[in-house]
Amino acid sequence: MFYDPDKNDHGLPHSPFKSCVVPRPIGWISTVSPEGVHNLAPYSQFQNLTFDPPYVMFAANQNTRGKRKDSVVNAEQTGEFVYNMATYDLRDAMNRSAAEVLSEVDEFELAGLTKAASIRVKPCRVAESPVQFECRYYQTIRLPGNGLMGTVDIVIGRVVLIHISDDVIGPDGRLDIIKIRPLARLGYYDYTTVDSIFEMVIPGENEALLKGLEGDSGAARGKIKND
């Protein structure tokens, strides 16, 4: 089958769109307003964009009242946000933090979470989360959309400090992803977690390509030569 997303003529009981790009990592974004109110919300339209230096993005549609979301307004006004990794153990708190509440509400308190002070930015980190990135706001790209919620703000930030809990670094020095169980979005109201891992390496001798895949910044800086 095929369908035109402008017409939504898929003929199915529920839109299949969000099931077609899966799984999507959840960027659990914390910000603080200029008045000092702490804000937290999950975004599955989230991704890392590059690694040297690292940049991440989250894409926030307008809220159900056709207004820009607090995460966007705060990130733009203060120039800072934090990415927290959402995990299976934190799923209920993550879900509570998605409620559309007044800007005056502290969403760490709403979700029952602990604030950990950041080092280089003002927004707090979710203490219970095993991985957090302190980010400086870089740019918003606004895409026009349909209806009240369709317009979307893509917020890009540069990662300036990375926190990883010692508990999730395995004896081999790698992040123990199976222990972390990162949470990810599927379509509908469905979620998944990472429960299995397999390794695959690009064939050939291109060391810079392989290091880039691994996320080694030496490759991007041209320090790894292929000859």
Ligand X SMILES: Cc1cc2nc3c(=O)[nH]c(=O)nc-3n(C[C@H](O)[C@H](O)[C@H](O)COP(=O)(O)O)c2cc1C
Name the site residues for ligand X (rule: CB under 6 A).
26, 39, 41-45, 59-61, 63, 69-71, 95, 98, 100, 185
Residues 219, 155: Cα–Cα separation, whole Å: 27
β strands within the chain, DSSP E? 24-25, 27-32, 38-43, 46-51, 54-61, 80-85, 115-116, 125-126, 131-143, 152-164, 183-185, 191-193
Q: Enter the tokens of residue 158.
A: 């540069």
**Shortest approach of ligand X to residue 36 CB, angstroms?**
15
- Residue 35: CB partners within 8 Å, gap ≥ 6? none
Q: 15 or 63, CB closer to ligand X?
A: 63
Structure tokens at 34: 């200029």
> Could you tell me whether strands 183-185 and 152-164 are parallel, antiparallel, or unpaired per DSSP bridges?
unpaired
Complex with ligand X: residue 101 or 177, whichever CB lies closer = 101
Q: How far apart are the first and last CA of the chain?
A: 49
Q: How far apart are CA 197 and CA 26, in angstroms?
A: 19
Instruction: For residue 134, report the phi and psi dihedrals to the nearest 5 degrees.
Output: -85, 130
- Of the CA atoms within 13 Å of residue 57, those in its CB half-sphere come to 15
Q: H/E element holding 108?
A: helix 107-111
Closer of 95 and 193 to ligand X (Cβ): 95
